[in-house]
Amino acid sequence: MNEDNFIPVYLFTGFLEGGKTSFIKQTLEDRRFNNGDRTLLLICEEGMEEYDTKDFDKSHIYPRVIEDKDELNPINLQKLYTEVHGQRVMIEYNGMWTMNDLLNALPDNWAIYQIMNFVDATTFMNYNQNMRSLVVDKLSNCELTVFNRFDKAAMDKMEFHKIVRGVSRRCDIAYECTDGTSEYDDIEDPLPFDINADTIVVEDRDYALWYRDINEEPEKYDGKRIKLKAMAAMNPKFPKGTIALGRKIMTCCVEDITFCWLATLYDKEIDLTRPKWFNATFTVKMQKHKLYKGKGPVLVVEELTPAEAPAQEVATFY
């Protein structure tokens, strides 16, 4: 499909009272954004703050409330869009619904252009403790997280920073402070291994960080030589000479442990009737592979040496 045929979707996520409605209202009042394009505004969560809709019609803003998750489906969303003769979509998303619920519901020609996450700093730690999987869900895909009601005197930026960075290194972080000021997070996050070394050595405790980084920025690893400990596995459906090299990673809680692996080229005989641990040395090549259905980081093995499992078999983001 030609890119010009995609319908732009601007997505605003976060939990109740996080500041989504306030930001959307400010955006719609900004003439640089609200330039007359017919905008379908999908409201999936109604908080204390409400929209003043009296000027919406003449501004070509058409709000529609999605009260139930069952209403999130391609047919209904396309129907709403067609009814208003829309040109773009804004979504105020329900923080208790997962991103997959939405992504699976979008019509094929809807493309998410931007994702922003809004958080009430006063309740964030409680959400992170009690609804960790939903916090991770919202942080995983957003380009910017805004912490509203941030009290510089009583709150530690580093605590918030670590939680965000434990999920995503790409997400920008901003703080809307109780004293009326706004600040961007400028805390540096050096990787725990030397990306410029002749051979990058990834320690057991750093596997999750490395795996996330190579998936977020695979090009910077192209041609790099790496040593790490990982589990090798095989599937009968894999192409000949291909194995999976990876580790189980816990993204948020015990229920979310997943074997996270990369396509690996290894042309020697190997018994993988069950997964086994190895010390692996390989070079990363950015190339097409059937398992990726396109281009991706392929590991070309130099050496596999049998190894004991690490002390902590499931990798975490600290």
Higher pLDDT, 44 or 51: 44
The answer on 312 and 211 residing in a single domain is: yes
**How many folded domains does the chain comprise?**
2
The answer on 164 and 132 residing in a single domain is: yes
Percent share of the chain, pLDDT over 90: 82
Tens digit of each residue's pLDDT (9 = 90 or more) over 161-201: 999 998 888 899 999 999 999 999 999 888 999 999 999 99
Higher pLDDT, 50 or 253: 50
Percent share of the chain, pLDDT over 70: 97
Residue 30 pLDDT? 87
40 in a structural domain: yes
189 in a structural domain: no
Tens digit of each residue's pLDDT (9 = 90 or more) over 48-79: 788 887 768 778 999 999 999 999 999 999 99
Q: Determine the Cα angle at 214 with ends 166 and 202, to 5°.
A: 80
Q: What does each C-alpha distance from 44 to 47, 65, 94, 122 come to in angstroms?
A: 10, 6, 5, 23
Given a cut of 80, whether residue 318 has pLDDT beyond it is no
For residues 257, 263, 264 and 268, what is the CA-based torsion angle, rounded to 10 degrees? 100
44 in a structural domain: yes
Distance CA 94, CA 105 (A): 14
Given a cut of 80, whether residue 252 has pLDDT beyond it is no
Q: Tell me if the pTM is above 0.95.
A: no
Instruction: Provide the pLDDT confidence category of residue 250 given band limits of 50, 70 and 90.
Output: confident
Kindly tell me the burial class for residue 1, based on how many C-beta atoms sit within 10 Å of its own C-beta (0-12, 13-18, 19 or more).
Answer: exposed
Residue 151 pLDDT? 98
Range of the domain at 88: 3-184
Q: Which of 129, 149, 184 is the last residue of a domain?
A: 184
Type of residue numbered 41: L
CATH number at residue 83: 3.40.50.300
CATH number at residue 248: 2.40.50.140
Residue 253 pLDDT? 65
Q: Which of 184, 218, 241 is the last residue of a domain?
A: 184
Tens digit of each residue's pLDDT (9 = 90 or more) over 17-26: 999 999 999 9
3-state secondary structure of 259: strand
Residue 6 pLDDT? 92
Distance CA 28, CA 83 (A): 20
Tens digit of each residue's pLDDT (9 = 90 or more) over 82-112: 999 999 999 999 999 999 999 999 999 999 9
Residue 281 pLDDT? 99
Residue 54 pLDDT? 79
φ/ψ of 42, rounded to 5, equals -95, 120
131 in a structural domain: yes
Tens digit of each residue's pLDDT (9 = 90 or more) over 202-238: 999 999 999 999 999 999 999 999 999 999 999 999 9
Q: Which of 131, 157, 184 is the last residue of a domain?
A: 184
The answer on 76 and 222 residing in a single domain is: no
Tens digit of each residue's pLDDT (9 = 90 or more) over 295-314: 999 999 999 999 999 999 99
Q: Dihedral sign, CA of 193, 199, 205, 207?
A: positive
